[in-house]
């Protein structure tokens, strides 16, 4: 997305079609997440991640060879990229959960979730610079596949597969695996999980919108004020993508770190600290995002300052939300819970937000002038501030249930009807306790 203006110029597409690039990827991602969640709760997680990331690298490389007459092929490869994303995003946090507990787990999760804003920001910076040097946006897609292959090698030879729940008070051998439908029903009856998932959905909505449209919006603001020349021929001016990438990296580090540290301090005062920190992050992000959008035509410096503050508060959620999921869900359901959260947050979040912002922008636009290119996108992006406030409300509601749900997960006792292994026709099979009671 650091080269979105170049892509729009190369394929001659509208804002609505540009938004489809993110929407197609997220739809594929969320469809595959339940599959990888199911596999992650039952099979070797390391091997699943290796296959997924390797496939992701190949598809990303393939997408860099698409010609201007085949926009559909770019959409197809964007969809296939979701395979790799779904493989590690549903499984990696559960491996961390099985390696660490309590505050150490929170610290390790914060390091893991640095990768989201830091990786995104570096993507903007490196992609923009590669595009400038090569003079062709396709080369921006040829950098990350090599990093993906390196990740596969390190994952395969360095990472060890931990036993599920072995490090916690109730190791896996005391927790029976249940059917997928049983897991889903249990998760739906978990208020903290459901409400925090809806809260995280709003984070995904805002993040997805900004990831695709913020650099393009800043570029259009520069054209509107006369500070930049319009993009009539590739390569376009990508300075806004570089600056936005730097902001994303720095705010990601500050936001994730501050979110974790504030949460750890507040836990000594209230067990509801985590959802309250998430709520505060969203409610503080909303006004700064609003100001960054409205100040775009008046002051470039003020716009970047407000974006910096808004993204910092928004990033406070990443590691804390992940920690909430891991301690309100029992170990044998965590990959499924991660997948469920991914599906819902992307279905209602960043799967629709980039396309929705683009469609609203197209519908508001009254002419093809540079003024309306800027104004229409400006008005449509205001939706992000409203959604952030709604997300804050969901996390405040989560705070009402968090103590009870954490206690239930930490003291979970399998039902009397849990499956046991018995001999049957010369082979062992799993049956419910009630079926063998006399």
For residue 218, which of 197, 184, 242 has the smallest C-alpha distance? 242
Alpha helices in 189-238 (DSSP H): 191-225
pLDDT at 424: 57
pLDDT value at 400 more than 90: yes
Q: Which helix (H) or strand (E) holds 405?
A: helix 402-410
Kindly report the length of the chain. Answer: 438
What's the pLDDT tens digit per position in 39-50? 877 788 888 888
Place of tokens 């979110």: 259
For residue 388, which of 309, 324, 299 has the smallest C-alpha distance? 309
pLDDT value at 87 more than 60: yes
Domains of the chain, CATH where assigned = 4-435 (1.20.1250.20)
- Quick one: pLDDT band at residue 438, thresholds 50, 70, 90? very low
Cα–Cα–Cα angle for 388, 392, 395, rounded to 5 degrees:
135
Q: How far apart are CA 75 and CA 333, in angstroms?
A: 33
Q: How far apart are CA 166 and CA 290, in angstroms?
A: 46
- Average pLDDT over the chain, rounded to whole? 81
Q: How far apart are CA 326 and CA 333, in angstroms?
A: 10
Q: How far apart are CA 117 and CA 250, in angstroms?
A: 8
Alpha helices in 67-161 (DSSP H): 71-89, 92-97, 102-134, 144-158
Q: How far apart are CA 122 and CA 236, in angstroms?
A: 19
pLDDT value at 166 more than 50: yes
Lowest mean pLDDT among 110-119, 256-265, 401-410: 110-119
Burial of 62 (0-12, 13-18, 19+ CB in 10 A): middle
Q: What's the pTM?
A: 0.72
Query: What average pLDDT does this structure show over 103-112?
Result: 78
């Amino acid at each position: 997305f650091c080269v979105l203006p170049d892509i729009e110029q190369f394929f001659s597409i509208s804002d609505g079609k540009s938004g489809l690039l993110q929407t197609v990827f997220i739809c594929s991602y969320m469809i595959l997440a339940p599959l990888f969640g199911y596999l992650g709760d039952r099979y070797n997680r390391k091997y699943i991640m290796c296959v997924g990331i390797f496939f992701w690298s190949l598809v990303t490389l393939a997408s860099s060879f698409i010609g201007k007459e085949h926009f559909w092929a770019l959409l197809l490869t964007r969809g296939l990229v979701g395979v790799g994303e779904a493989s590690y995003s549903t499984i990696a946090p559960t491996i961390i959960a099985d390696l660490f507990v309590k505050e150490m787990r929170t610290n390790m999760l914060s390091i893991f979730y640095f990768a989201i804003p830091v990786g995104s920001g570096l993507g903007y910076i490196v992609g923009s610079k590669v595009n400038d040097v090569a003079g062709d946006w396709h080369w921006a897609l040829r950098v990350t596949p090599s990093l993906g292959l390196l990740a596969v090698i390190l994952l395969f030879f360095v990472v060890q597969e931990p036993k599920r729940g072995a490090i916690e008070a109730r190791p896996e051998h005391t927790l029976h695996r249940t059917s997928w439908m049983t897991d889903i029903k249990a998760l739906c009856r978990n208020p903290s999980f459901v409400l925090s998932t809806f809260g995280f959905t709003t984070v995904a909505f805002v993040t997805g919108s900004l990831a695709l449209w913020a650099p393009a919006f800043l570029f259009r603001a520069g054209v509107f004020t006369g500070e930049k020349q319009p993009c009539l021929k590739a390569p376009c001016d990508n300075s806004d993508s570089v600056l936005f990438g730097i902001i994303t990296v720095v705010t990601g580090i500050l936001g994730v770190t501050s979110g974790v540290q504030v949460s750890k301090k507040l836990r000594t005062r209230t067990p509801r600290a985590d959802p309250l920190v998430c709520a505060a992050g969203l409610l503080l992000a909303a006004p700064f995002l609003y100001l960054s959008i409205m100040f775009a035509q008046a002051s470039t410096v003020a716009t970047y300052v407000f974006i910096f503050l808004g993204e910092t508060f928004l990033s406070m959620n990443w590691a804390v939300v992940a920690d909430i999921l891991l301690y309100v869900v029992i170990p044998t359901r965590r990959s499924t819970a991660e997948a469920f959260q991914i599906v819902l947050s992307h279905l209602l979040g960043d799967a629709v937000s980039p396309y929705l912002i683009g469609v609203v922008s197209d519908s508001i636009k009254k002419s093809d002038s540079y003024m309306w290119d800027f104004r229409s996108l400006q008005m449509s992006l205001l939706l992000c501030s409203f959604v952030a406030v709604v997300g804050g409300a969901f996390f405040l509601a989560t705070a009402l249930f968090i103590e009870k749900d954490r206690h239930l997960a930490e003291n979970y006792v399998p039902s009397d009807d849990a499956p046991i292994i018995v001999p049957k026709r010369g082979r062992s099979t799993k049956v419910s306790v009630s079926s063998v009671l006399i």
